[in-house]
Amino acid sequence: MPGGVWVSDIVHQALTDRAGKSFRHMGSQRVKNISRLIRVWQWTPASPPDEEPVTQNLPQQHIQYATSFDDVQIAWASIGKGAPIFKSPNWLNHLKYDWRSPVWGPFLTEIARHHRLVRFDQRGNGLSDWDAGEISFGKMVGDMAAVANASGLERFALLGISQGCSFSIQYALENPDRVTCLTIFGGFLRGRLIRPNPGQKQFFEILTMVIQNGWGSNNPSFRQFFTSSFIPDAGPVASRGFDELQRICCSTENALRIFHMNANLEVTEMAKRVRVPTLVLHCTGDRVAPIEEDRCVARFIPGAAFVELPGNNNVLLEGTPEFAQFFDEVSGFLARDNSLRH
């Protein structure tokens, strides 16, 4: 472009980290010789910074509500066409904000390119009811059932990320006639208070104090403690996007309720009884869920395949090697699943 330069997201992160350059985000674009969409940034000598991703290239999602078994309203969205993928909720989501987030936008868009993606905001956060009487493992799995029914899904691939691993395992165990295959990324069978490492309990206590003392404040330093844990390799734009997501999608009380629920999860025995094809992927240096936890997932689910990805993030960021490898591995896995169904 005359008077300007366009760069990929990974180059943008490196430049802004080192040089403090101002770039304008140009959305996800198609690039020659690369099949997937790439997030692109523009720099011109006079261009002002623009940290809000451009959304006109994103497909339109349709948000609706499902009533769970205890009358809690659960917001869910469907987007894209093709073989369905049902995503269980991870640590804090917001159906609307996720699409323009530099953290989740590219990941969700990549899935929706070839699939119908159905996802939902867990109770207590996002667009779902914040005043749910109970936030628990059993209720989360029940919410999955309510959304699957409301969306008309019959047979589908299931995707569980981080805490969503546990919910997905239980749902797959209870619904083997509906779940054709299971993909898990950055997951765990045991919450922090269940793991044998005493350091996990100490970390839980520190994070509990951080939520109690600063989650609802305008000072982002408290939430950034979580951000640096979930995406330590992220550049400043993605880091600020993750911090903003946490701020808008959950109250202090509900952040604590969900955090404590996750710390007490234990689905080891359930995993041993899962009988659907399973692919487990995990970044080597993940600080939220140690890689040993997902090795346990792969070891206990009969026949599960395990793929170790580079990097330290618990969320896959566009432009990183692990982002590309994840979709290469999952595309092959889902293609095998589809061929077996026909």
Beta strands in the chain (DSSP E): 5-8, 24-31, 34-43, 62-67, 73-79, 83-87, 115-120, 156-161, 179-185, 278-283, 305-309
Instruction: Give per-residue pLDDT as tens, 265-277.
Output: 999 999 999 999 9
- pLDDT for 13: 53
Instruction: Give per-residue pLDDT as tens, 40-77.
Output: 555 655 544 444 444 445 567 889 999 999 999 999 99
- pLDDT for 52: 45
**What's the rounded Cα separation, in Å, for the pair 342 and 328?**
22
Strand, helix or coil for residue 277 = coil
Taking domain 62-341, whether its CATH number is 3.40.50.1820 is answered by: yes
Question: Which residue ranges make up each domain of the chain?
Answer: 5-43, 62-341
pTM to 2 decimal places: 0.82
pLDDT greater than 70 at residue 212: yes
**What's the rounded Cα separation, in Å, for the pair 237 and 51?**
7
Q: What is the arithmetic mean of pLDDT over 160-186?
A: 97
Instruction: Give per-residue pLDDT as tens, 297-332.
Output: 999 999 999 999 999 999 999 999 999 999 999 999
| Long-range contact set of residues 292-295: C-beta below 8 Å, sequence gap at least 24 | 293/187, 293/188, 293/189, 293/190, 293/195, 294/165, 294/184, 294/186, 294/187, 294/188
**Burial level of 3, CB count in 10 A (0-12/13-18/19+)?**
exposed
pLDDT classification of 287: cutoffs 50, 70, 90: confident
Provide φ and ψ at 119, rounded to 5°.
-145, 170
Rg (CA), the chain: 19
Higher pLDDT, 338 or 39: 338
